[in-house]
Amino acid sequence: MRRGNPVFSLLFLLVGLAFPLQFIHITDTHIGAGRSGENFSTFCQLIKNLPEKPDFIIHTGDVTEFGTEEEFQTYGQIISSLDIPIYHILGNHDVRWNGAGWVIAEKLFPNYKRNYFFTKEGITFIALDSSFPYSQYGIIEPSQLAWLKTTLSQLSHSQPIIFFTHHPILPSSNFLYGREALLELLKPYNVVLFLTGHGHSNRVWQVDGITFLMTQGIMDTNASFRLIRVGDGEMEISTWGLAGQERENERLRIPLRRAGEPAPSRSLPDEAPPPLLKINGAIQADLLAWDNLVFLSSWSGEVIAVDAKARKKVWERRFDSPILTSPAVEGGKLFISFLNGFLKALEIGSGKVIWETKLPQPITGRIVVHKGRLFVPANRSLFALNQKDGKILWQKELGGSLESRPFLSGDLLYIGVWDKCLYAINSENGELVWRIETARSRYFSPATSLPILWKDRLIITQPYDNTTKRGGVLALDKGGNILWQIEGNFGYSTPVVQGENLYIASMEGKLLCVSPKGEIIWSLNLGSPCFNARPLIKGDKLYLVSFNNVLFVVDVKAGKLINKVKLSRGGCCVSTPVIVGENIFIGDMMGRLYAITLSTF
């Protein structure tokens, strides 16, 4: 950098002025994509050359493109020369393709936790990590709201507060679930600014008297960052490009008091039906039924058994790690996997821990039990464990992160990976049998759905690629050759088979009935996106919960909608329900468990 440049000199002068507090907001570095590393290195060099450094930097997420450890490490190498504290939260890109993102960030960044706060010069900064593993959406879920309520109770109502999250709260679009509960909690407090990313643009707006500031991504062609200086009862915000030039007409002044009166409390209608149970954390893992018990688990490390007939809790255990993936049951044991790498076998009747094993990787995929073995996808490795004692039998490292559940047929194990490929592995020893590329790039990998075998065809789904016209629902022979496909946005869907037909729902809200030849028998437009949660069929009815918490009841033969029920406001569902007897049990990301009698429909 040329120190004689008058533009740089102006930036030096601005940072060097006598303000009690000066900090920088950046976002969306997306290390691993395009020119992102070069852009970020340019930014860091600019900051290093300032004669007077800002007090700290706030990064509002999408640190990486795919959330791999290599990308996080590259980012860490770039910032290692900066002698400035950096406060991080994560974005959707950091966890969408790798559920281990939270663990990797905690390991590499000393200032990162999902929720934390600090105070500088009389201003409290609160970080809320809105990232939602395996999803592009954001969420502030029950355990975060509980933490925030406790944190805010320690502050006076006049204390200036600056929040930072990745996903914005916009007046017209909903990127962030739990926003209504969050805004309600903030009403009594002096929240003066919300820093966000995600939108890759420079924007300013207000919601409930709170000023929201979105900053353009560092990875963008027209990259920028914000310099925020605090003094004399206000904040002065300027916008700068990577060449050190200030953007004209973009300087803002925001008082250190809430800009206006919060909106009046919203009178929300009662939930219909009311939840049977409300727990502390988000329910992302599928529910599981065994005999008369229903098992649920949460981001707060809760494992709960509910008596389906009596509709009451039988036992509850609380552990110290989030649970993202679905449990399994076999031989009187309930197997639970944790993001911190622990796998625990619990007694079904009491929840008592029988054995536990610590894997060297975070557990990110769904476990399956087969012939006395547990097969566990963990970050980029697949493990086989002895079901009796949890002893590791073999480990196989694959070419990308794992999210799915393996499917086993005979001695072959099939699993899709976030590296464009579908794998067939010998389940006895972990040796590779074959690997085929079913996608053009990692974004379209067959890694999200749970493979099934149908009429000697292996059925997988993957995001649809308009360039190659490949994706959606794919039928393969056992050698991995594609026999037919159904185009559509089925990448985050898993089919179910009943009788002679297959049923699957898409993110566009289309529910299909498909013949063994790949012919569409009927199609129903639900008008509500379906994400991960699989359909259930009992008798002549199909039950499906959409992403935005609507339960649909469909006539299986005719493909006609019978009924639909809105379960809640402000929540979403990615967990597959279970049917026990005459009740369907549904869990959502706001920690609610519903029990609905099927005769209602």
- Domains, the chain, in order of start with CATH, read 21-255 (3.60.21.10)
User: Within a 10 A sphere around the Cβ of 50, how many other Cβ atoms?
Assistant: 17
Spatial contact of 285 and 323, defined as CB atoms under 8 Å apart: yes
Q: Which residues of 427-460 are buried (b: 16+ CB within 10 A; e: fewer)?
A: beebeeeebeebbeebbbbbbbbbbbebeebbbb
Q: Picking from 141-145, 245-249, 316-320, 331-335, which range would have the lowest pLDDT averaged per residue?
A: 245-249
Q: What percentage of the chain reaches a pLDDT higher than 70?
A: 95
Tokens of 578: 């279970």
Averaged pLDDT for residues 178-186? 95
Averaged pLDDT for residues 188-200? 96
Averaged pLDDT for residues 467-483? 91
Beta bridge partners of 230: 21, 235
pLDDT level of residue 13 (50, 70, 90 thresholds): low
Q: Where are the alpha helices (DSSP H) in 98-140?
A: 101-108
Residue where the block lists tokens 């409390």: 265
User: Within a 10 A sphere around the Cβ of 575, how many other Cβ atoms?
Assistant: 25
Spatial contact of 221 and 204, defined as CB atoms under 8 Å apart: no
Tokens of 106: 């905690």
Averaged pLDDT for residues 439-443? 94
Of 256, 259, 262, 261, which Cα lies nearest the Cα of 120? 256
User: Within a 10 A sphere around the Cβ of 401, how many other Cβ atoms?
Assistant: 29
Phi and psi for 315 in degrees, rounded to 5?
Answer: -155, 160
* CA–CA separation, 516 and 520 (whole Å): 10
Is the pLDDT reported for residue 259 higher than 90? no
Is the pLDDT reported for residue 189 higher than 70? yes
Q: So what's the pLDDT on residue 426?
A: 97
| Close Cβ partners of 232 (under 8 Å, ≥ 6 residues apart) | none
Spatial contact of 548 and 528, defined as CB atoms under 8 Å apart: yes
Return the half-sphere exposure (C-beta side, CA atoms, 13 A cut-off) of residue 412. Answer: 16
pLDDT level of residue 568 (50, 70, 90 thresholds): confident
Averaged pLDDT for residues 228-237? 93
Q: So what's the pLDDT on residue 600?
A: 86
Q: What is the pLDDT of residues 343-367, one digit of tens each?
A: 999 999 999 999 999 999 999 999 9
Is the pLDDT reported for residue 4 higher than 60? no
* CA–CA separation, 375 and 383 (whole Å): 6
| Close Cβ partners of 265 (under 8 Å, ≥ 6 residues apart) | 184, 187
Is the pLDDT reported for residue 111 higher than 50? yes
* CA–CA separation, 429 and 114 (whole Å): 38
Torsion region of 208: left, alpha or beta (phi above 0 gives left; psi -120 to 50 gives alpha)? left
Q: So what's the pLDDT on residue 571?
A: 87
Choice between 38 and 14, residue whose per-residue pLDDT is larger: 38
Is the pLDDT reported for residue 534 higher than 90? yes
* CA–CA separation, 319 and 322 (whole Å): 8
Phi and psi for 77 in degrees, rounded to 5?
Answer: -65, -40
* CA–CA separation, 363 and 148 (whole Å): 27
The DSSP bridge pattern shows strands 234-241 and 592-597 to be unpaired
Tokens of 451: 């493979």
Is the pLDDT reported for residue 328 higher than 90? yes
Spatial contact of 216 and 224, defined as CB atoms under 8 Å apart: yes
* CA–CA separation, 336 and 343 (whole Å): 6
pLDDT level of residue 3 (50, 70, 90 thresholds): very low
Q: So what's the pLDDT on residue 6?
A: 47
Average pLDDT of every residue of the chain? 93
pLDDT level of residue 273 (50, 70, 90 thresholds): confident
pTM for the model: 0.94
Residue where the block lists tokens 């985050």: 492
Which helix H or strand E contains 151, and what residues bound it?
Answer: helix 142-152
Of 349, 356, 404, which Cα lies nearest the Cα of 382? 404
Is the pLDDT reported for residue 126 higher than 90? yes
Is the pLDDT reported for residue 245 higher than 50? yes
Q: So what's the pLDDT on residue 1?
A: 34
* CA–CA separation, 286 and 284 (whole Å): 7
Is the pLDDT reported for residue 197 higher than 50? yes
Is the pLDDT reported for residue 81 higher than 60? yes
Q: So what's the pLDDT on residue 85?
A: 95
Q: Picking from 181-195, 389-403, 467-481, 548-562, which range would have the lowest pLDDT averaged per residue?
A: 467-481
